[in-house]
Each structure stands twice: as structure tokens, then as C-alpha cells.
Amino acid sequence: MSGDALPRRANVTVIKTFDIDYGLFAFAMVALTILYISARLYQQAFGFSMGLDANSPEFDRYWMTLFRIELPVLYGAGVLCWSYLFLTRDRSIETVTPETELRRYFYLAMWLVVYSFCIFWTGSFFADGDGVWHQTTLRDTPLTPSHIILFYATIPIYLFFGVGSFVYAMTRIPAFCRGVSLMHVIAVVGPFLILPNLGFNEWGHAYWLTEEIFSHPLHWGFVVLGWCALALAGVLMQIVERLRELIPLVFKQDAAGSPTDANPFRDASKKCGPEAQRQRYKPTTVSGRRSISGKSK
């Protein structure tokens, strides 16, 4: 927080400061890391020892029990979270202050970081683990030690945060409420559709195609839906565009750097902003190249 640790003069009354609460974000990142590592350790401990025969009682005890627990817990948690976000929506979203709006943009960015973190564990780490499992044990059923973690645990987790980020943005950020962010829809719905594509994948594997070749066209549905992750760039661009307006507004600093006049501690000779920058630097530009101010000569 900007103001708390600072020496203040006695005659100054603080009415507001800008701060961000990192608690939930840090908790989510730590909890997810522990959860994913625990899942991997469980695979290590009981994958080959208890998970090779889907018809065995050991498989039922060690893997189907996990399967029966994780599905309702993870999807239930998702529905609860999304419902909470919707029910606690800002009903006066039009009158949100710039400070609050800026804070919410940071929280949206944190939602997206957690979502991206989950995509990494799902799309890279556990998908890779699924590949090596099939290379070693051949195919069993749609319920294998790798699938029970990858399909029915890690995918619901990233759906939790992907859909959550969308509901959060739509219920709390004016721009995402007035209009629907096309790229946010793509970034969430694309990976979401991997879930129904699993039905197609398992259907194909169950009847005709083994998983011996990992790059088999049967898997390309996942690939195309994974491409939708690119759309996260569009969401970040939308955030960047608004932050460019909000940050100077919240901190009362325009591009010309006029608030330096109100700063008794600041070196008055050090003006900031584009005009001051132009005065301080006399860039030598090459014809046809972009100058330091960003304009083509």
C-alpha cells in the first residue's frame, strides 16, 4: 500500500489511499500448487501399483473413490463461486469510482493469472503425464490414473477460474458489463469446450483408435480449442487500454506531469511527461524509422 508506511505530516488528513488485497490471490496460487503437486505424488504412489486394472478392487478403492469425490467437489465449488460472484454483483456499476475500478482491473488480472497457471498444469504438465502413461501402459478405459487427474480434476479447476474471471469482469467492471469482451469469451469458452471434446476423444478411442500415436488426428480437437488461449492477449489489451486512462486518473497525474508542482519533495527541475522528455532528449532519428516519441518521420 502506498500510504501506510510513509511519514505523514500531522496537519494532513488522509481520506483515501489506493491499495490492493493480495490475500486471495496468494492463497489461490499456494493452494493450487499444493493441490497439483499432491495429485502428481498420488499418481506416483498409486498409479502403477493400484491403477493398472480398472476392474480390480484396488483400482476402485484408490482411484474410483478419488473420481467420485473430485467431480462433485470441484464442479460444486465452481457453481458456488460463480453464483456468489453473480449474487454479490455491483448493482450500481455505473457509478463506480476510478479507484474501485482500477482495483477491480487488478483483481481481474489476478483471476487471469490463476487461470493461466491452471492452463499450464493442465495443458502441459498433466497432459504430458497422460502421454507418458499411455506410452507405457497402453489403453485401459476412460478412467485411468492419468485421466482421473487430468480430465476430471485439472479441467474443472481451470473452468472454475476461467468462468469465474468472466463472471467477475461482467459483474464488477463497467466496460465488461456494457459490452461483451469477444476475446474473453473465446479465451474461456475455447478451453471450456475441451470438456465436451473429451467425449468425442474417448468415444473414438473406445471403438477404433488406440492411443499409440499421440499426434493422431483424433486429438486435434484439443489442439484447435487450445489455440483459443491466444485470445487472452486480447483481454490483456483491453485491460491495458483502460489502465492507461485509470492510473493517471487515480494518481492525479496527467501526461504532462503537472502534479509535480504539488509535491514539495520532488525536484522541480525534473519535469516529467512527453513535453519534458522532448526537452531533455534530442533524439536523432533515422529517416523512415520510428522516433523516440513513437511517430514515424
User: Which positions from 168 through 207 interact with other proteins, judged by CB under 8 A?
Assistant: 170-171, 175-183, 186
Answer left, alpha or beta for residue 56, where phi above 0 means left and psi between -120 and 50 means alpha: beta
If the CB atoms of residues 74 and 102 are measured against other proteins, the closer one turns out to be 102
Nearest to 114, CA basis, from 21, 239, 28:
28
Q: Restricting to residues 140-169, which ones interact with other proteins according to CB under 8 A?
A: none
- x/- mask, other proteins, residues 93-132, rule CB under 8 A, reads xx----x--x---x--xx-xx-xxx-xxxxxxx-xxx-xx
- Measured distance CA(189)–CA(162) in Å, rounded: 8
If the CB atoms of residues 200 and 227 are measured against other proteins, the closer one turns out to be 227
- Measured distance CA(27)–CA(92) in Å, rounded: 29
- Measured distance CA(136)–CA(130) in Å, rounded: 10
Contacts of 251 (CB under 8 A, 6+ apart): 18, 259
If the CB atoms of residues 72 and 289 are measured against other proteins, the closer one turns out to be 289
- Measured distance CA(215)–CA(230) in Å, rounded: 21
Asked if 40 is part of the footprint of other proteins (rule: CB under 8 A), the reply reads yes
Nearest to 203, CA basis, from 152, 142, 131:
142
Query: In 3-state terms, what secondary structure has residue 259?
Result: helix
Nearest to 129, CA basis, from 156, 153, 111:
153
Q: Restricting to residues 8-27, which ones interact with other proteins according to CB under 8 A?
A: 8-9, 11-18, 20
Q: Restricting to residues 52-81, which ones interact with other proteins according to CB under 8 A?
A: none
# chain residues binding other proteins, by CB under 8 A: 114
If the CB atoms of residues 4 and 55 are measured against other proteins, the closer one turns out to be 4
Closest distance to other proteins from the beta carbon of 79 (Å): 18
Length of the chain: 297
If the CB atoms of residues 73 and 206 are measured against other proteins, the closer one turns out to be 206
What are the backbone dihedrals phi and psi of residue 296, each rounded to the nearest 5 degrees, phi first? -75, 140
Residue of 210, 245, 285, 297 that binds other proteins (CB under 8 A): 210
Q: Applying CB under 8 A, which part among 53-61, 66-74, 75-83, 254-262 lies near other proteins?
A: 254-262
Query: In 3-state terms, what secondary structure has residue 22?
Result: coil
- x/- mask, other proteins, residues 264-283, rule CB under 8 A, reads xxxx--x-xxx-xx--x---
Residue of 24, 73, 77, 138 that binds other proteins (CB under 8 A): 138
If the CB atoms of residues 16 and 282 are measured against other proteins, the closer one turns out to be 16
If the CB atoms of residues 76 and 196 are measured against other proteins, the closer one turns out to be 196
